[in-house]
Structures are given as structure tokens and as C-alpha cells.
Amino acid sequence: MAAVVPGLLKRRLGRTPTVPRVPRAGAVAPAPPKAEAAEAADAVQSTDGDALADEVRGDFAALRTDAYMGVPLIYLDSGATSQKPACVLQALTEYYEHSANVHRGAYALAERATEAFEHARSSVAELIGAKSPQEIIFTSGATDAINLVAESWGSANLTPDDEVLITVMEHHSNIVPWQLATQRTGAKLKWAGITDEGKLDVEEFKRLLTPKTKLVAFVHISNTLGCINPVKEMAEAAHAVGAKVLLDACQSVPHLKIDVADLDVDFLVASSHKMYGPTGVGFLWGKSEILEKMPPWKGGGEMIKEVHMDESFYADVPARFEAGTPPIAQAVGLGVACDYLLRLGMDRVEAYEQELSKYLWESLSRVDGIKLYGPPPSMGSRAALVAFNDVEPDIYPQDVAGVLDADGVAIRAGHHCAQPLHREMGATYGSARVSLAFYNTKEEIDKFVEALEEALETVRSGDACVFDPDDPDACNCSSSRMRS
């Protein structure tokens, strides 16, 4: 491990990460926006699950990068954002080198852009088992998608006599929109808690359901606890009282095989940047019979059939909810990321990540003096992520993550946009979190655990930049930037 001395964490912020140690591929030849990228995705070959990471790592430039000169990057923060395969980057380049708007131009370049954009919609639909690509609405991300439902469906359907049910383990993006929606409509917001084992209290969730419950919104996989919620059971209970169901699938779509028909939810949201696609785009899936009854949320071009000075007539779904010029390049990149996942096979991805999940938990369980959050693998399948804290209350996760960074190990520290959950767990200042993807290896887990043991020793000894929760901006190291 690189020696950590006082001030090192401050000084390293001035360093510039080195370029990948393996040269990138050469220039991309002109082509329609999706053609070569699709070929790159098709080039992925099927092998045994244990070899999956070795098979795909060459597709991800960041995994061949030094965090600092001579310190290889070990990227263990895919729960926050994933790395992007070369075919996705290539698709972005191809679009921007041959740009045109979609659904408007009567010339070849525009037609190719539209084809690539709509192909992306079809790829997303295929990945999640949607009945039709027209059920996929592109948004700026999962947060935008939840707000769309809260504003459009919520404003049209919630009244002061109604209730919305969520859970304490939600990401802020699945809490705040419902706070705003219930404040706006007068409806009541309720939430279910967690068990002592760190799972959702499903029995409490069911008890809170009443005939007044109009919508339930919950996460498929907790981004902190790693537990996989029983979606079908919860959706069935919600539908029994006449409620609609919104599923936050940001942490599940990239890691599990999803079939919306089988889950029987009414809405599903996810973000591209967590599923190996570009930032700035996500999607809402909804049952067509529900979407068709929802009023527009944003007004402008694209979402209309006719505009008159005194009234407008709106387009059909999905255009009704895609006002203005859409995130074309980002959507194309998301589509290629979906093609990449489909070619790998989500059954295979899920099986390999379950191996990593068990290995990660078992490895961290052997580290002295830390508390792991969430249910162990012995209680059922869980995601390949673990949040943890030092059992000593004055050892902050921000310091642990900062020292690990000096060794090239990238993990998350803070509340992971889940402050209510951390309060429920008694983790006032957040937690440290390691989150894996199919491109990670058991060797990386071993290196992380070795570095973690030394980092804990360093932080416990006081020989590191110390995070001050009362004045988080007092130091200039990464600790001060890990609060949300």
C-alpha cells in the first residue's frame, strides 16, 4: 500500500490521472450511428461465468487506467455509475460525427439518426421484456422519470383522501417527488421500515396498504443494503387494494434479468449511466393503458399533433412525454449498452455477479472491526454491493474512502442519496460502499480487502486527513465532497 502521511490526501487532488496504459483503438470510420457499435456488441463471445470479467475487461478503457502514476485503478463504485464499453463510446462518436435531429429531417442523415434513436427504444424494451417499444419513454434519468409520473399521473389521480406508500430504503429521487406530489394534492405519504436483518419489513409494508393507497413506489435493490425486494409479492399486495406500482430498477436492470410482465408492476424507471450507457438519459416504462390516459408533463415541440393559438392537441405516447429535442446521442448510446448486455446474456451476468456478491461479503466478514449492512447471502440472493462502517463511532467512512483512493481503490462514501435509511441504521455520517459489476474480479476484491485493512489501521491511528462532520469543508481532501 502507498504510504499515507498527513497532507497526502490534500496534495493528490492536484494530480492528473494518467492515460490508459493500453492504447485506445484508432479512429472510427464514418458509418450510420449504430452500425459498427452493434457489430462491436455482437463480437462478445459466450464463455463460462467465471471467465466473464476477463472476457469483457478489454472493452472498458478505465479498467486499464492508473488512478495515479504507477497506481492502477481498482474501480468498485458501479452502484454510483458504471464504466462504459468501447462500443458505447464509439456510438456516441459516430452520432456526433454525423449529427442530425430525429423525427424531422427528410434527408438520409436525419433518417439514420431517427433509425438509431428508435432502435435504442426497441433495445431497452427487449432488455426489460416490454410488450412494445412505444411503452418506453426517454427521460434525462430515473429522477426525471419518477418526477414525470408524480407530476402527470399524480396530479391527475391523487386527492386529499388518498395515500402514497414508499419505503425508508428509497433513494432521495423516490422520496422527494412523492413528498412534493402529496403536498401539492393533499394526499398522505406513508413509508415502511426495515427489519433487524437489514431487509425491507414486508409485513409492515402490507399492513400499511389500505383502500386509500393509490400508488406504491419502492426500490428493487437497495443501493445501501444490497437486499433484493420481493417485487412480485409486493406488487400483488398493492394491486389487491387497487394501487398502482412504480419500481425503481436503477440497481437491478444492469445486474438482473428483468421481465416487467412477470413482475407485474405498472411503472419502471432506470438510468443509463448505471447500466453501462451515457449520462444524461434514462427511461420510464409504463403499461400502455396507463400511459395513454396520462396528461402531458412538459410542453413544446415533438409532443404535439396540432398547435393553435387558443389550444393544442397532443401526440400519442411516447412522444407526448418527450417534449423538445431529445438526448439523441445519449439514447443511442443507451441502446448500444442494452445490445451489449443482451449479447452477454443477463442470466449469465446475474449468475457471475451472484458469485462476486458471496465472495465480497465473505471477504469483508473476515475484516476485524467493521459492521456490514444488509442481509447476508445466507438469507437469500443479494446484490454485489456491501456498505459498511468501522464499529468505532469516530472513524468516518469518508476518511476510509480517502485513504483507499491513495491506493487506487475507488469506492463510495457518504449517504448514497439515502439519508433516511442511514438515520434508521444509526449511521449518521453515512457509510462506505463497495459495488461491483460483471467486469470486476475476485482478485480485485482481494486487493481491496488488503488495502482496506491497511486503510483502517491508518485512519484509526490518526495518520490521515480527518473528516470533520461539523465542518466538512474544513479540509480539501475528497472527504469534504462525500456528503450526499
Tell me the HSE value of 348 on the side-chain side, using a 13 A CA sphere.
Answer: 19
Question: In this structure, what are the phi and psi dihedrals at residue 412, rounded to the nearest 5 degrees?
Answer: -100, 145
The answer to whether the beta carbons of residues 216 and 240 sit under 8 Å apart is no
Place of cell 497506481: 71
- In sequence order, the 6+-apart residues with CB closer than 8 A to the CB of 159 are 185, 186, 187
417 tagged catalytic = yes
Closest-CA residue to 146 (of 252, 268, 49): 268
User: Which helix (DSSP H) or strand (DSSP E) does residue 66 occupy?
Assistant: strand 66-68
**Angle between the 328-344 and 35-42 helix axes, to the nearest 10 degrees?**
20
Q: What is the DSSP string of 192-239?
A: E-B-TTSSB-HHHHHHH--TTEEEEEEESB-TTT-BB--HHHHHHHHH
The answer to whether the beta carbons of residues 97 and 30 sit under 8 Å apart is yes
Active-site choice (417, 465, 475, 477)? 417
Place of cell 388518498: 162
Stated length of the chain: 484
- Give the integer Cα–Cα distance in Å for 85 and 386: 24
Query: Three-state secondary structure along 364-393?
Result: HHCCCCEEECCCCHHHCCECCEEEEEECCC
User: Which helix (DSSP H) or strand (DSSP E) does residue 403 occupy?
Assistant: helix 397-406
User: Residue 345 to residues 7, 44, 88, 339, 455: CA-CA distances in angstroms?
Assistant: 46, 10, 17, 10, 37
- Give the integer Cα–Cα distance in Å for 430 and 262: 35
Please report, as a single letter, which amino acid is at residue 43: A
- Give the integer Cα–Cα distance in Å for 176 and 194: 19
- Give the integer Cα–Cα distance in Å for 397 and 448: 15
**Residue 414 bridge partners (DSSP):** 431
The answer to whether the beta carbons of residues 324 and 301 sit under 8 Å apart is yes
Closest-CA residue to 174 (of 194, 147, 208): 147
Q: Is the dihedral of CA 61, 62, 64, 69 positive or negative?
A: positive
Other Cβ atoms less than 10 A from the Cβ of 93: the count is 17
Cell numbers found for residue 306: 396540432
- Give the integer Cα–Cα distance in Å for 386 and 363: 11
Annotated active-site positions, please?
Answer: 417
